Amino acid sequence: MAKRWEDVEELMDEMVRVDCPPNIATFNTLIAYLCRNGLYEQVHETLSQMPEHGCTPDLRMYATIIDGICKDGHHEVANDILSRMPSYGLKPNVVCYNTVLKGLCSAERWEEAEDLLAEMFQKDCPLDDVTFNILVDFFCQNGLVDRVIELLEQMLEYGCIPDVITYTTVINGFCKEGLIDEAVMLLKNMSTCGCKPNTISYTIVLKGLCRAERWVDAEELISHMIQQGCLPNPVTFNTLINFLCKKGLVEQAIELLKQMLVNGCSPDLISYSTVIDGLGKAGKTEEALELLNVMINKGITPNTIIYSSMASALSREGSTDKVIQMFDSIQDATVRSDAVLYNAVISSLCKRWETDRAIDFFAYMVSSGCMPNESTYTILIRGLASEGLVREAQDLLSELCSRRYRQMLVGGGDYCGGITRMDLPT
DNA sequence: GTAGGGTTAG
């Protein structure tokens, strides 16, 4: 629609001509679209057109604008608009506050978030369950789990009801901090608050138990969840398969892959991907290739991740030709090669002392629009150096350094479309 | 036509 803005303007003129003038709903639709796409010049323009149609921005429109601005990361502007709303005769509601609160939390600007909460109390704007969920998520994302139980209690005191996602967020926060026993306890206690854990809640705790290598507890929990009528889903299985593979227990992972079908789950792309990678890392490249074929025969199309696992496995066993063959075979397919895949190819060439070809590949990578990452440079620099091409290695190293410097410079921008100059009609 | 949050693979 961005390109057809003239059409929109023309359509609005026509609406007036046929005596069906745009109303507040028309403008809200437009503003929502423009905000979603960061087209603040047009937001400004549209707002200035509203008075001639007898329309005034309402609470909902402000909420939309504030949301768009927050999602673009311009919290000061959002906060500024929020504070100017009363002068336009509008009292910000809980939706407006929550939107800005979420923006401040995402930007980890906790002090300002606290100020905003204080303002909500002071301006007599009651918090709701969304407010609490934003805070719970923020605490969990930032490892502040020691404060989160208290927050849940405050939430209940306030008359807001945590739901299964609220509890699962907290459980996940505990697991991420290694507090597995706390996670298990909450999983068991949430039912007493009238909220039953679901498959996702159990899967998260299972992952935590696996990470802590508490296999017996994990098995018990699986039985427990099934007893409770919560069936494992593909993600549950994939989580377990992943841990088995990481521990080198690929045979057991394959067993679990078969068990999925018995339990009414079909192994998906990620199930196969995990086991294929596990087989490759265990040096069972032939078996990995066979499983890849099984997967393809089941109608599942391999993606870049699977190919890069395969390429790494082939590269590891020194089958450089097979790596290149595979790479060539997917060039006309829909899979888009990424840096990890290119790195596997480049690395296998370096292994065979073919740094010339590796450099050619590097050039092809860049010309195909794939951005090299640090590993790409590391692989090449090592390859060049081990062939005694010190000068070339040094050049590449300085290129890497200047790239890092450029990346440091990017992202310092402070531009915010036309919204800073926005002169909202009243 | 307004705000929020949870799980899997290289």
Predicted local distance difference test score (pLDDT) of residue A419: 25
The CATH superfamily holding the domain A142-231 is Tetratricopeptide repeat domain (1.25.40.10)
C1’ B9 / CA A285, Å: 17
Sequence-distant (≥ 6) Cβ neighbours of residue A91 within 8 angstroms: A85, A123
C1’ B4 / CA A202, Å: 22
C1’ B4 / CA A132, Å: 8
Predicted local distance difference test score (pLDDT) of residue A3: 56
Residues 262-321 of A with CB under 7 A from strand B: 268-271, 273-274, 277, 303-306, 308-309, 312
Q: Is the CB of A387 under 7 A from strand B?
A: no
Residue A329: Cβ within 10 Å count? 10
Residue A331: half-sphere exposure toward Cβ, Cα within 13 Å: 11
Sequence-distant (≥ 6) Cβ neighbours of residue A213 within 8 angstroms: none
Rounded to an integer, what distance in angstroms lies between the CA atom of residue A398 and that of residue A396? 5
Q: Is the CB of A389 under 7 A from strand B?
A: no
CATH class of the domain whose range is A305-401: mainly alpha
C1’ B7 / CA A16, Å: 52
Predicted local distance difference test score (pLDDT) of residue A407: 56
C1’ B6 / CA A201, Å: 7
C1’ B6 / CA A82, Å: 30
**A203 CA: nearest nucleotide by C1':** B7
Predicted local distance difference test score (pLDDT) of residue A72: 87
- Which residues of chain A fall below pLDDT 50? 2, 408-426
Q: Is the CB of A125 under 7 A from strand B?
A: no
Predicted local distance difference test score (pLDDT) of residue A418: 27
Predicted local distance difference test score (pLDDT) of residue A404: 62
- Where in the sequence of chain A do the CATH 1.25.40.10 domains occur? 142-231, 305-401
Nearest CA to the C1' of B3 belongs to which residue? A95
Predicted local distance difference test score (pLDDT) of residue A398: 80
Predicted local distance difference test score (pLDDT) of residue A284: 97
Sequence-distant (≥ 6) Cβ neighbours of residue A19 within 8 angstroms: none
